[in-house]
Amino acid sequence: MEGKTALIAGATGLIGNGLLHVLIDAPEYKKVYALVRRPLEINHPKLMEVVVDFDRLIDYKHYFAVDDVFICLGTTIKKAKTQEAMYKIDVDYPVEIGRIAKECGAKHYLVVSSMNADSKAKLFYPRMKGELEEKVQNLGFEKLSIFRPSLLLGDRKEFRLGEEVGAFLSKGLTFLFVGSLRKYKAIQGKTVAKAMYKVAQQKEQGKTIFASEEIENIGRQ
Ligand SMILES: NC(=O)c1ccc[n+]([C@@H]2O[C@H](COP(=O)([O-])OP(=O)(O)OC[C@H]3O[C@@H](n4cnc5c(N)ncnc54)[C@H](OP(=O)(O)O)[C@@H]3O)[C@@H](O)[C@H]2O)c1
């Protein structure tokens, strides 16, 4: 059968779950492998759910020989409890998945980072995302796409106070997010997902970093 193969990590999350549905419905993909730690409860002929121990990713190497690798993993400090635990999910797992996939011949690595990612930042979160970006650049993929969304909007099962307040302000103050401030405008998780899928179909090689307003433009086309 013609078509590409994809590996996705984070398929139970806001962006990742939206992306998973886009990928399995897309004619460009014949198979989508979803690395999860709990079942997805979706059945689809193109989907292969792989329940893994993320601390032993190398044991699942035989699923990593794909065309496109999509990383939508992440957590919050509230859930992770410590910065070390958060770093493991937001940086170590994405880098290890990329390392194994590159070794298995994957061509394109697409990862969700965050607005303001900066390895020199004083604050932990932007510094962590900046370090993620630096580490994935060292993996040597032919094509690397880094997505830096602003505050994410969408339906979550859990309540995140900071994001709810941010979303409320962002919606109420839409008129402020023009010109150079457009990159701060909140963005729907499903728009990020659509943009990742579209970028995966583009032929250009090399590294590209997509700011939130660019993600919005691509995802809404
Ligand atoms: N929230 C925002 O406003 C915002 C803004 C900019 C960038 N971002 C970044 O965007 C990315 C995606 O965000 P999102 O809101 O779509 O994420 P999300 O809904 O919180 O989903 C996170 C995904 O990571 C998985 N995950 C979490 N802990 C894990 C662990 N210990 N082992 C394996 N998998 C684990 C989750 O799996 P389970 O379902 O099994 O937990 C889920 O699939 C994240 O990197 C985030 O930092 C977020």
125 is catalytic: yes
SS3 for 49?
strand
Q: Which of 8, 55, 60, 75 to mutate to test the pocket of ligand 1 (most atoms within 8 A of CB)?
A: 75
Q: Hey, what are 40's tokens?
A: 């997805």
Kindly give, in sequence order, each residue whose CB lies less than 8 Å from that of residue 72, ignoring residues fewer than 6 positions away.
8, 9, 10, 11, 13, 15, 16, 19, 112, 193, 196
Nearest residue to 132 via CA among 82, 80, 73, 199: 73
The per-residue pLDDT for 108 is 98
How many angstroms separate the CA atoms of 192 and 71, rounded?
A: 12
Catalytic residue, candidates 46, 88, 107, 125: 125
pLDDT in tens, 119-147: 999 999 999 999 999 999 999 999 999 99
The per-residue pLDDT for 8 is 98
Angle at 96 between CA 91 and CA 98, to 5 degrees: 95
93 has pLDDT over 90: yes
Q: Give the predicted TM-score (pTM) of the model.
A: 0.94
Crossing angle (nearest 10°) for helices 212-219 and 189-200: 80
pLDDT in tens, 14-47: 999 999 999 999 999 999 999 999 999 899 999 9
pLDDT in tens, 41-59: 899 999 999 999 999 999 9
DSSP state letter for 69? E
Kindly give, in sequence order, each residue whose CB lies less than 8 Å from that of residue 66, ignoring residues fewer than 6 positions away.
4, 5, 6, 7, 31, 33, 101, 104, 106
Centre of ligand 1 to C-alpha 73, Å, is 4
Which residue's CA lies nearest to atom 28 of ligand 1?
A: 75
